[in-house]
Structure formats: C-alpha cells, structure tokens
Structure 1
Amino acid sequence: MTAETGRRRAGGRRPGASGTREAILAAAQRSFAEHGYTATTVRGVASAAGVDPALVLQFYGSKDQLFDAALRADPPTRPLAALVREGGVADLGERLTRRYLELWEAPDTGARLLAVVRGASASPSASAMVAAFMSDEVMLPLARAIGADQAELRANLTGAHLLGVATARYVLRVEPLASLERERLVALLAPVVQRFLTGEPA
C-alpha cells in the first residue's frame, strides 16, 4: 500500500457506511449523557467511534446536528409517547407522572434526560433543538391523547410542570424534594397533572 493510498483511506469513508454512522451516533449519545453538551466535542466522539473527525462532520454536519440526531435516535422519552396512547385519560395523570419519574431514576434514560436538560441551557441552538424535540416527541402525542379543548396548552402545562419538578429533584437536588420517596411524590403530583390534562380550563 502506498503512502498516498493510506492517506486516502485514513481521511475517507471506511467500509460499512451504515455501521460507521451508527457507531458515531452511539458514541455521541454516550458522550452527551456522560459529559454533557458543552464538554462533548466532535474530536472526542470521533475518537470513541474509531473514526476521523472529518467523517463525523461528513455524516452529521456539525456538533449541533449531531446532538439533535442523538436526541431523536431512540429518544429517552419514547416510553411516555407509548404510555399516552394506551388506556384512557381518567388516570393518565398518575400513570404519566409515575412513568416519567421512573425514567429519570433509571440509569440509562436518567443520564440521557439529564443531558437533554443540561443541553437546553448550553447554547441557543441546542435549546431550540431540545424545544423542537420535546414538542415532537412528548407534547404533540400528549395533546392528541387528551382529546379535549385547549389540548396543546394542557400538554404544555403538563410538560412544564413535570420538567420543573424533575429539574429540582434530579438536577439541582433540592431538599426535601430530592429525597422524597417516589410513590409519595407520585401521590402529590398526580392530581395536579390530572387537572392540567382533563380539569376545567382557567
């Protein structure tokens, strides 16, 4: 093999483009979850995936686009979208609240949700991507499931309330909320969430 051939192979697309793209995306998801948006770099993701940084940019364009792709590939909120399509809305407040807290407390989804929240405050572009992601993956499915007047507003209020509680409990670790037993917290939150979903509008 000539030096010129070696240079072309080092900087170009390696065999198995689909597998390479998936490896980059998996490395990005791990990095964003473990290190956050700010500390994650294209070079670091490339190193973890075993590729040249130019290949990361070839597939994803920029760090922001890589962050967006990492959010939307197997999103940590997918169980919530599935949940709101199941059953009726009479007890949706309790089911949604419990499942949301469970996701935050599971090691894998909790780390990814934490990356989402921290990413939202890292840069204006990341914030816009998180907002679009939450709208597409959580708010719209929830609004459709409610099937009531002002469904979009109800979904927004529900999401904002649960996100605020999660931020205080899991990100800022505010006491005594951070140490409150999960089922006790579900009992406190569920009636409020249910009112947002199905109660009389203000």
Structure 2
Amino acid sequence: MPDPADAAPTAPRAGRRPGPTATRAAILDAARRLFGERGYDATSVRAIARAADVDPALVHHFFGTKEGVFTEALELPVQPSSIRAAILDGPREQVGDRLIRHALRLWRDPEIERRVLGLLRAATTNSGVAELMRSAMTRELLEPVCAALGVPLLRANAVASQLVGLAVVRSVIRLEPVASASDDEIAALVGPTIQRYLDP
C-alpha cells in the first residue's frame, strides 16, 4: 500500500524549518541511495526523510512528491505525470498525434535532450538505473495510462518502444532524413502507429 507521505500534503505541515542547499542535497543523496538499494516502489518519502535526517515535510517542501524526488535524483528530463497528462488531456482519437508532438516539443529543449540521452546511455550500461526507470515509469506513467484508456500494458510498452527508438535515431545516430524531418512529418508517420496501439 502506498505511503500517504508519498503524496503532496494538502495543507502546510509542521516540520523542521527548510534548510539551505545542503539540506536539499542531503535529501537527494539519501533518495539516490535508497532508490538504488530498494527500488522505486519500496522507497517511501518517510524512508528518504529518515535517511536524510529531516522531517518528511521538508521532502515535500523541496520536491512535492516521491515522483518529484525521483525525477531530480535521477535527473529525469520531465516528471512522468506530465507525459501522462499530455496523453490523456484531449480527444481519444487524437492521442497518437498529441503524444508524438508533445515528445518532439520536449526534445527540442537542449537540456531535456541531454537528460534523455544521458538516461538512455546509463540504462543500457547499468542494470540498476534500468530497473529504477522501469519501475517508476510503469507505476507513474504506463499503468495509469492503461487504466484510463482500457488497454493492456503490452500496448503501452509498444508506445514506449516507438518513442525511445525515435529518440535514438534522431538524437544519437542522427539518421537522415528522420533526424531533420519536421514535427508534422514525424507526427504523420509515427502518430497513427501510436494511435493504433492505444485504440480500444
């Protein structure tokens, strides 16, 4: 059962006074250690706070939720929940086009592209990073999307394979003409495939 402390509090909570940058860094260090030792699902906000010797309210103060801590600790390019919103906020029949265009917009940001490529490289060489990414993405993104759209997890995995493959081809291999194709061209090619995966 999820720890209630993992969700952002609905009202201010009493806790230790927010400290300087060192406190934030201590929370991130503790989070990286616990995520690495226990995995995403078994790591709670309370456990991170205990390992960092701070009140759980401070974790919420700096990062909001467990997902927020995880995003910062692993330098994820975006929080999975923002991708979830891009998928679900709009007509069902346009989800493929909406998702691929959202991904393309994100990749145009040099910092986001740097983080995406860094994570892809780390996941291919470090099984611990791969497991953390897999468990977090499944819990925070894929399972909620599947539940909302009524599709099996295998289809969501297929969507992820399309996006990861496209990122590698465009930003790592830089295979032409895909690497320099416009958003409209890529959306017209890939959007219908994603749509087919996510249709009922």
TM range (shorter): 0.5 to 0.7
Partner of 1:154: 155
Residue type of the partner of 2:149?
A: I
Paired with 2:74 and 2:104, the residues of 1 have a C-alpha distance of 19
Please, which runs of 5 or more residues in structure 1 have no aligned partner? Answer: 1-14, 29-55
Partner of 1:103: 106
Residue type of the partner of 2:118?
A: A
Paired with 2:77 and 2:180, the residues of 1 have a C-alpha distance of 29
Partner of 1:188: 189
RMSD: 3.1
The yes-or-no answer on 1:121 pairing with 2:124 is yes
The yes-or-no answer on 1:61 pairing with 2:33 is yes
Q: How does 1:71-86 map to 2 (within 5 A)?
A: 71=74, 75-86=78-89
Paired with 1:193 and 1:63, the residues of 2 have a C-alpha distance of 31
Q: Secondary structure at the match of 1:87?
A: coil
**1:3-57: CA deviations, max 9, x gaps?**
xxxxxxxxxxxx96574242467xx8xxxxxxxxxxxxxxxxxxxxxxxxxxx4x
- Give 1:102 shift: 1.2
Query: Given the superposition, is the C-alpha separation of residues 21 and 132 from structure 1 closer, same or farther in structure 2, using an over 3 Å criterion?
Result: farther
Query: Given the superposition, is the C-alpha separation of residues 18 and 85 from structure 1 closer, same or farther in structure 2, using an over 3 Å criterion?
Result: farther
Paired with 1:96 and 1:182, the residues of 2 have a C-alpha distance of 12
Residue type of the partner of 1:136?
A: R
Paired with 1:158 and 1:60, the residues of 2 have a C-alpha distance of 28
Residue type of the partner of 1:130?
A: M
Paired with 1:67 and 1:122, the residues of 2 have a C-alpha distance of 20
Q: Secondary structure at the match of 1:174?
A: coil
Query: Given the superposition, is the C-alpha separation of residues 85 and 71 from structure 1 closer, same or farther in structure 2, using an over 3 Å criterion?
Result: farther
- Give 1:157 shift: 0.9
Which protein is bigger by CA-based radius of gyration?
1
Residue type of the partner of 1:165?
A: L
Equivalent residues, number = 153
Q: Secondary structure at the match of 1:133?
A: helix
- Give 1:131 shift: 1.4
Please, which runs of 5 or more residues in structure 2 have no aligned partner? Answer: 1-16, 38-68
**1:154-188: CA deviations, max 9, x gaps?**
11111111211111111221222111122211111
Output the TM-score relative to the length of structure 2: 0.63
- Give 1:92 shift: 0.3
Query: Given the superposition, is the C-alpha separation of residues 100 and 182 from structure 1 closer, same or farther in structure 2, using an over 3 Å criterion?
Result: same
Greater Cα shift, 162-171 or 91-100: 162-171
- Give 1:146 shift: 1.6
Partner of 2:24: 22
